[in-house]
Amino acid sequence: MVYTMIHQTQYRTVIVANGTFPSHSIPLDILRNAERIIACDGSTQKLINHGFEPNVIVGDLDSLADQYKEIYKDRIYHFPSQEDNDLTKAVNWCTNQGIDQLAIIGATGEREDHTLGNIFLLPNYAKQLNVTMFTDHGYFVPLLSSQGINCTPGQQISIFSTHPDNIISSSGLKYPIIRRPLSQLWMGTLNECEADKFTLDFSPHPLIVFLQYQ
The CATH number of the structural domain formed by 9-139 is: 3.40.50.10240
Give CA 153 to chain center in angstroms: 23
Distance (Å, whole) CA 59 – CA 80: 7
In contact, 143 and 191? CB cutoff 8 Å: no
User: Residue 2: what pLDDT?
Assistant: 44
User: Residue 65: what pLDDT?
Assistant: 85
Q: Where are the domains of the chain?
A: 9-139, 145-212
Q: Residue 41: name the closest of 17, 12, 19 by CA.
A: 17
In contact, 208 and 104? CB cutoff 8 Å: no
Would you list the DSSP string of 130-176?
EEEEE-SSEEEEEESS-EEEE--TT-EEEEEESSTT-EEEEESBSS-
**Taking the model in full, what pTM does it have?**
0.93
Q: Where are the beta strands (DSSP E) in 71-134?
A: 76-78, 101-105, 130-134
Give CA 82 to chain center in angstroms: 21
**Residues of the chain where predicted confidence (pLDDT) is lower than 50:** 1-3
User: Residue 6: what pLDDT?
Assistant: 63
